Amino acid sequence: MSQQEAVDAAFLPTLDLSRLVSSDAEERQKLVRACEVYGFFYLDLRSDAELIALWTGVLDLMGQYFNLSLDEKMRDSRNSDTHGYEPVATSTGAQDDLPDYYESLKASRDEVLTQSSKLAPAVKANHALLNRFIERAHAVTMMILRQLSIALELDDSHKFEAFHRHSEESLSTLSMFRYPKQEVLDVGVGHNKHTDIGTLTFLLCQQQGLQVLSKDPVGWRFVQPLPGCAVINVGDTLRFLSGSRFRSAVHRVIPVDQLQRQDRFSIAYFLRAENNATLNAVGGRTVSAKDWHDEKFDVFRKSREAQASDDVLTGGMERDM
């Protein structure tokens, strides 16, 4: 890392997966502080050989899939926020009046588990790999919720995991993103600033581009990829369920060098609460987890002016800067 990159890098604490799995009390308190102060942290996965292997397997799949022609990928389009293919430039981008510049292939956890007929052909063809990845990412994020519930000494009805029951439908989703290499800037840029909709995000990426809006000092800071580490971030839902004790940090994706000089790949598992979970959202509104999800995706597609007119896109967190 250069000196300038070090200056521009966000500080995030690093937690150890194996210590959290073993319910280590000291690691649990580090987890609470990470969620309270930063809303983002690194999770060292190097003790888990299967997760590392799955990461490699999904990356290999993405490299093959996103190199297909647009016509071939559009056969997987479902016009959905939780499953199928989505091309570039469908939402507002990270700068000026440009649209976003990423494409994605998504797989809903519920639909993968049931092998739904709605699954995109590319997901069906790689069902075993994607199903296992979702199982493991879901297990890790649910384990984190359990550790937070223990730390906060929550009663059974208020435990965070109680809002994520296996028997209930949710919009938890695996999303595979490619930010294509760019020759010119005027086609689009990055991924607009936002807080994540759901409870926790389990993110795997080996390339720069993710930025978090820092409070001290105020400004955008790059999240440096660390070998063998996931980036975990708190979403709006966990912030709401914690009574705003935990922080859902504003973040975006933007090229390091103005243009995206090479294809950038990232894998995100979005853990989301069961659809009917009741949330006390921004402005004191009471909404279901599903309604908050749908409302926020609608805002992603609005103009920059419309997005600035309310707090949905950034979950009210930008006002805290």
Q: Which of 171, 168, 187 is nearest to 179 (CA)?
A: 187
Annotated binding-site ranges for Fe cation: 194, 196, 251
Q: Give me the pLDDT at residue 320, please.
A: 65
Annotated binding-site ranges for 2-oxoglutarate: 264
| Residue 175: C-alpha distances to residues 46, 112, 202, 208, 239 (Å) | 22, 13, 10, 18, 22
Calculate the CA 94 to chain-centre distance.
16
Q: Give me the pLDDT at residue 171, please.
A: 97
Q: Give me the pLDDT at residue 94, please.
A: 66
Annotated binding-site ranges: 194, 196, 251, 264
Q: Give me the pLDDT at residue 321, please.
A: 54
Mean pLDDT of successive 10-residue stretches along the chain, which has 321 residues: 56 97 98 97 98 98 96 92 87 71 93 92 95 98 98 96 96 95 72 89 95 84 96 97 95 79 93 97 91 87 73 76 54
Which domains are assigned to the chain?
A: 3-312 (2.60.120.330)
Q: Which of 98, 99, 105, 102 is nearest to 74 (CA)?
A: 105
Query: What pTM did the predictor assign?
Result: 0.94
3-state secondary structure of 254: coil
Q: Give me the pLDDT at residue 301, please.
A: 76
Q: Which residues of 192-212 are buried (b: 16+ CB within 10 A; e: fewer)?
A: bbbbbbbbbbbbbbeebbbbb
Q: How far apart are CA 215 and CA 218, in angstroms?
A: 4
